[in-house]
Amino acid sequence: MKIVLATFNQDKLREMRELLQLPGLVLTALCDVPGATAPVEGGESLAENARLKARAALDLSGMPAIADDTGLEVDALGGRPGIHAARYAGPGATYADNLAKLLAELANVTVERRGARFRTVCVALFPDGGEVVAEGVLEGCITLAPRGANGFGYDPVFEVMPLGRTLAELSDREKNALSHRGRAARALARQLADRAAPR
């Protein structure tokens, strides 16, 4: 089965290839589809954004498509940045820009009030109209300063509390075993395997 991943983010493509290891599955990026442009994320929820991106990828490629959307929900910020995590510091924001804005907003917030969670929703759409949806959540807290050199995005400031380490302090293997995207992708993979199984 050949599926297009609705992203231009090479970090996300690499991670999803590692997570969605199903026999016979070939995962390609939307940026490899001639004439493709980045899908617009205009939804009001993670599931809606993922569905919009998957629909755009399916329409552009004619192939089954997978999209995911991830939000960072910080308790002290009333759930922000939420679905706006990737563009928290504005259009074209870099990972560093988003981190700087988040830490600035939490500058006077005590460690005890820095609870947060990553939430990922994955949606797979098929040319026959079929749809598969999966979700993964990881609880943690926001650190006072970045730690670690691995990962991407908010990983350096998201501490997995039982471990006392940020996602950026974990190896790719450790992160994928427990991350929000890992949990969502594994749940999606199980459903894709069921769909592909002979009837």
Based on the residue annotation, tell me whether 59 is a catalytic residue of this protein: no
CA atoms within 13 Å, Cβ hemisphere of 50: 25
Contacts 24+ apart (CB under 8 A), 33-41: 33/4, 33/57, 33/60, 33/61, 35/60, 36/60, 36/61, 38/8, 39/6, 39/67, 41/69, 41/83
Cβ count near 187 (within 10 Å): 17
Q: Among the options 32, 68, 69, 155, which is catalytic?
A: 69
Identify whether the C-beta of residue 184 lies closer than 8 Å to the C-beta of residue 122. Answer: yes
The 8-class DSSP code of residue 153 comes to T
Paired tokens of 124: 């797979």
Q: Where are the beta strands (DSSP E) in 57-197?
A: 65-74, 81-82, 115-125, 131-142, 158-160, 165-166
Q: Which residues are catalytic?
A: 69
